[in-house]
Amino acid sequence: MPILRNPCYAARVFLFIIAAANFFNSQKYNCMSTLLTVGSVAFDAIETPFGKIDKIVGGAATYASLSASYFTKPINIVSVVGDDFPADMIAEFNKRGINTEGLQIKQGEKSFFWSGKYHADMNTRDTLDTQLNVLLNFDPIIPEGMATCEFLLLGNLLPQVQMTVLERMAKRPKLVVMDTMNFWIDTQYDALMKMIPLTDVLSINDEEARLLSKEYSLRKAAKIIMAMGPKTLIIKKGEHGALLFNGNNVFFAPALPLEEVFDPTGAGDTFAGGFIGYLAKTGDISFDNMKRAIIFGSAMASFCVEKFGPERLLSLTDKEITARVNDFYDLVEFDLIDALNI
Amino acid sequence: MPILRNPCYAARVFLFIIAAANFFNSQKYNCMSTLLTVGSVAFDAIETPFGKIDKIVGGAATYASLSASYFTKPINIVSVVGDDFPADMIAEFNKRGINTEGLQIKQGEKSFFWSGKYHADMNTRDTLDTQLNVLLNFDPIIPEGMATCEFLLLGNLLPQVQMTVLERMAKRPKLVVMDTMNFWIDTQYDALMKMIPLTDVLSINDEEARLLSKEYSLRKAAKIIMAMGPKTLIIKKGEHGALLFNGNNVFFAPALPLEEVFDPTGAGDTFAGGFIGYLAKTGDISFDNMKRAIIFGSAMASFCVEKFGPERLLSLTDKEITARVNDFYDLVEFDLIDALNI
């Protein structure tokens, strides 16, 4: 029944091309919502099989806010750096609509520093060095204008700090997305168990989901974790894509099979930034829209890994993002009607 | 633009329900093509975290032909067993339209036996015992009526045996799908390199693809392997789905996130059987149809792992298969038109 299939497909391609040109900077999203990102802004030293860089700007809030800035403005950052942090990077943030009023600069102190080396498979890495520096006593002060943000992304931080941020919001945000890591599951379990129930969307990787739920099957793990409180759970599987759970609904976003993965640093935060940025732009937190948001997040992450650090996130165009999202569509698109040949 | 989206979606659901009832046993596939499966028919002993079974019928041709039998009939098997192989299993094959005329029964000899134990993650396993028995000197004799089959599935066997089968076909089949394994890549490289170029579709797992291409990136590996000859390459990633490559086209079939994986034995062969069975039923070997075929193969594999050995493949209904394929559709379905909110 090509009469049915082709108009749908042709309409998609046609409308998509027209729409793409207008999507990113359109004014029609009067629902465009304010977004607050809390997380590290830091320096990284990275070694991959493709090269080595001794000092590059990194941190969860850096990747997430750069990623989100392609969807919504302003992005607000709450974080802390030392006086070693480059002023031109702050200027770059501002140029991109990232408000750094909540970025504390501690005189005489050094920024958070992480150093890691990736194995040949690019999926596993060794942490060579972690210097908390300014993050050690981070007090997340939220400028007054940011305390009413509707979308809140809590990057991977001490659960108590995440809790403090939430308590300091003037009103409960419309959507709280949080990340955490195995280190906090192991060492801050009780604090984490107070924070997780306050979250709408928990975004963790497969290893963390298994650790948190004590269950190997990700489907079972998801049930256990959602029973802890979050209505929605994202399980990131790196090069194997990501799963989105909500009640009995499950959606799978593939990862694009790339020829080269140059540097995976920040991919998870870039993913989270694209996810919440898309939701903030559209103002729609339905499951169907989260499916789209996770595809946009995956597209942003697929760019992130193409160059060292956040470099690729500084040179993207809306057209490239649209084309990449279309690649994701094509990657999994198949026609069931034709499958049954009616 | 809901005016566009909804009719497509509603039409899909409606037509799918109607079509599903007629698909499997419809007579409209006058192109329904003959299928020959060559591979082991054997006994397995399996231990998983969920239980243990000392002797169960297994083998690549068993799984593949049972799986394919839901799509096309007859399925022809060429294989060999000892006189220990149960007559009632052969009767079961025949009942399902699997022609066992080419299944040699060697008097006074024993069937191929494999014993394995799965680790807790169900993705890795140790082989505890392999007794080649009748497979040691397997001469694949092809009954005359089977030598003109249009679809040929060469299960994982000694490359020289696969080659002999192909040479003994009366005419070059329309489609040759072959499987192999790391053991043959390591020990029979030259023979394998003669066989692979004669294949239309090579179906291997990610580890084997990396071993064969000496390249970690699956996208690059695919290019290298297709340059060896096969126009189409399937890379199976177990619980992470499967990739289908053809020229510059790539398609990703997810694996369904299951609550329980009871026993993964035979999942790859079940996948291959569903894939080629669907192609043989529809007679269409275009890339678009292979995308559908790989989804049907994945659906069959998702059933296979639900019970020990091939047990689940003996109790399936067409309705269950249709519903499962629909689950795959829903798992990855998202709407791009709505994503751009036009």
C-alpha–C-alpha distance, residues A20 and A318, integer Å: 8
Give the β-pairing of A42-48 and A75-82.
unpaired
Task: State mean pLDDT over A97-117.
Answer: 97
Q: Point out the residue among A15, A237, A339 whose CB comes nearest to the CB of B1.
A: A15
Please indicate whether, in this complex, the C-beta atoms of A216 and B120 are within 8 angstroms of each other: yes
Contact B339 A4 (CB under 8 A): no
A292 backbone φψ class: left, alpha, beta (φ>0; ψ -120 to 50): alpha
pLDDT band at A2 (very low <50, low <70, confident <90, very high): very low
Q: How confident is the model at residue A4 (pLDDT cuts 50, 70, 90)?
A: very low
**CB-based contact, B338 to chain A, within 8 Å:** yes
A101: pLDDT strictly greater than 90 = yes
Q: Which of B332, B333, B335, B337 to mutate to test the interface with A (most CBs of A within 10 A)?
A: B332
User: Which of A342, A338, A2 has its CA nearest to residue B284?
Assistant: A338
Q: Which DSSP string do the residues of A268-329 spell out, in sequence order?
A: HHHHHHHHHHHHHHH---SHHHHHHHHHHHHHHHHHHTTSSTTGGGGS--HHHHHHHHHHHH
Query: Two tokens at A173?
Result: 């945000």
- In whole angstroms, what is the distance from residue B176 CA to residue B186 CA? 23
pLDDT tier, B121 (very low <50, low <70, confident <90, very high otherwise): confident
Test B341 with A260 for CB contact under 8 angstroms.
no
Between residues B137 and B22, the one the model is more confident about? B137
Please tell me the predicted confidence (pLDDT) of residue B1: 31
Nearest CA among A190, A188, A198, A205 for reference residue A165: A198
List chain A residues with CB under 8 Å of B288.
Answer: 334-335, 338
Portion 253-272 of A in contact with B at CB < 8 A? 253-254, 257-261
The yes-or-no verdict on residue A3 having pLDDT over 50 is: no
pLDDT score, position A13: 58
3-state secondary structure of A165: helix
User: Which pTM does this prediction carry?
Assistant: 0.90
Instruction: Quote the CA–CA distance of B174 and B228 in Å, as a whole number.
Output: 19
Average pLDDT, stretch B124-136?
92
| For A253, nearest residue in chain B (alpha carbons) | B332
Write out the DSSP string of A82-136: ETTS-HHHHHHHHHTTEEEEEEEEETT---EEEEEEE-TTSS-EEEEEEE-GGGG
Q: Which residue of B has its CA nearest to A18?
A: B342
**What is the per-residue pLDDT for B310?**
96
Q: Which residues pair with B47 in a beta bridge?
A: B52, B117
Nearest beta carbon to residue B259 from set A219, A252, A325: A219
Which residues does residue B36 pair with via DSSP β-bridges, in sequence order?
B76, B152
CB distance A304 to B265 below 8 Å = no
List pLDDT tens digits, range A36-62: 999 999 999 999 988 899 999 999 999
Of residues B217, B259, B291, nearest to A220 (C-beta): B259
Judged by CB atoms closer than 8 Å, whether chains meet at A334 and B329 is answered as: yes
The more confident residue out of B161 and A338 is B161
Tokens linked to A9: 């497909």
Per-residue confidence band for A8, with pLDDT thresholds at 50, 70 and 90:
low
Minimum-distance CB partner of B259 among A29, A217, A289: A217
B311-330 average pLDDT score: 95
Using a 10 angstrom Cβ sphere, with 0-12 exposed, 13-18 middle and 19 or more buried, the burial of residue B25 is exposed
Q: Is A340 on the interface with B (CB under 8 A)?
A: yes
A210: nearest CA partner in chain B = B121
- B131-183 pLDDT, tens digit per residue, is 999 999 999 999 999 999 999 999 999 999 999 999 999 999 999 999 999 99
**A136 Cα to chain B: minimum distance (Å):** 37
Average pLDDT over residues A97-118: 97
Mean pLDDT for all residues in chain A: 91
The reply to whether residue A339 touches residue B295, judged by beta carbons under 8 angstroms, is yes
Q: Name the residue of chain A whose CA is nearest to B242's CA.
A: A240
Contact: A20, B340; criterion CB under 8 Å: yes
Residue A165 has pLDDT above 60, yes or no: yes
Chain B residues touching A211 at Cβ < 8 A: none
Q: What percent of chain B has pLDDT over 70?
A: 89
Q: Is the pLDDT of residue A32 over 80?
A: no
Q: Which residues contact B151 (CB under 8 A, 6 or more apart)?
A: B33, B34, B35, B36, B173, B174, B175, B177, B276, B279, B280
Q: Which residues of A touch B332 (CB under 8 A)?
A: 251-254, 332
Average pLDDT over residues A95-108: 97
Cβ contacts of B8 on chain A, cutoff 8 Å = 4, 8
d(CA A276, CA B277): 43
Residue B8 has a pLDDT of: 57
- For residue range B303-316, list pLDDT tens digits in order: 999 999 999 999 99
A23 min Cα distance to partner chain B (Å): 6
Are residues A329 and B337, on separate chains, in Cβ contact within 8 Å?
Answer: no
Amino acid A122: pLDDT: 79
Residues with Cβ within 8 Å of residue B47, at least 6 apart in sequence? B53, B116, B117, B118
With an 8 Å Cβ cutoff, are B296 and A339 in contact?
yes
Identify the CA nearest to B155 among candidates B169, B165, B142.
Answer: B165
| CB-CB contact of A267 with A312 (8 Å) | no
Whether B46 shows a pLDDT value over 90: the answer reads yes
Select from B219, B334, B341 the Cβ nearest to the Cβ of A257.
B219
Whether B271 shows a pLDDT value over 60: the answer reads yes
pLDDT of residue B26: 57
User: CA geometry: angle at B221 spanning B177 and A240, to 5°?
Assistant: 90
Facing B15 at nearest CB: one of A15, A329, A342: A342
Under 8 Å CB-to-CB from B160, ≥6 apart: which residues? Answer: B188, B191
pLDDT-based confidence at residue B335 (cuts at 50, 70, 90): confident
Please, which pLDDT band fits residue A5 given cuts at 50, 70 and 90?
Answer: very low
pLDDT at A212 over 60: yes
Query: pLDDT value at position B15?
Result: 62
The B residues from 305 to 334 touching A (CB cutoff 8 Å) are 325-326, 329, 331-332, 334
- pLDDT value of residue B89: 97
- % of chain B residues with pLDDT over 90: 83
pLDDT surpassing 60 at residue B7? no
Q: Nearest chain A residue to B20 by CA: give it.
A: A340
For the stretch B319-326, contacts whose Cβ atoms lie closer than 8 Å and that sit 24 or more positions apart, written own/partner, are B319/B20, B321/B24, B321/B70, B321/B296, B322/B16, B322/B20, B322/B23, B322/B24, B324/B256, B324/B299, B325/A336, B325/A339, B325/B295, B325/B296, B325/B299, B326/A336, B326/B16
Q: What is the mean pLDDT of residues A120-128?
A: 85
Confidence of residue A225 (pLDDT cuts 50, 70, 90): very high
Q: What is the mean pLDDT of residues A196-224?
A: 96
How close B90 gets to chain A, by Cα (Å)?
31
Q: How far is A31 from chain B (nearest CA, A)?
A: 12
The answer to whether residue B2 neighbours chain A at the CB level (below 8 Å) is no
**pLDDT of B4 above 50:** no
Which of A215, A318, A340 best probes binding to B when mutated, by most B CB atoms within 10 angstroms?
Answer: A340
Q: Report yes or no: A336 at the B interface, CB cutoff 8 Å.
A: yes
DSSP secondary structure of B305-340: TTSSTTGGGGS--HHHHHHHHHHHHHHH---HHHHT
The pLDDT > 90 percentage for chain A reads: 83
Place of tokens 């040929």: B152
B187 reaches A (C-beta below 8 A) = no
Q: Which helix (H) or strand (E) holds B59?
A: none
Q: Is A160 exposed, middle or buried (0-12, 13-18, 19+ CB in 10 A)?
A: middle
Query: If you average pLDDT over residues B58-68, what whole number do you get?
Result: 98
CA distance B152 to chain A (A): 21
Residue A207: closest C-alpha in chain B: B121
Asked whether the beta carbons of residue A218 and residue B291 sit closer than 8 angstroms, the reply is no
Show the domains of chain A with their CATH numbers. Answer: 2-339 (3.40.1190.20)
Q: Is the pLDDT assigned to residue B341 strictly greater than 70?
A: no
ipTM: 0.86
Inter-chain contacts counted by CB atoms under 8 A, chains A and B: 147
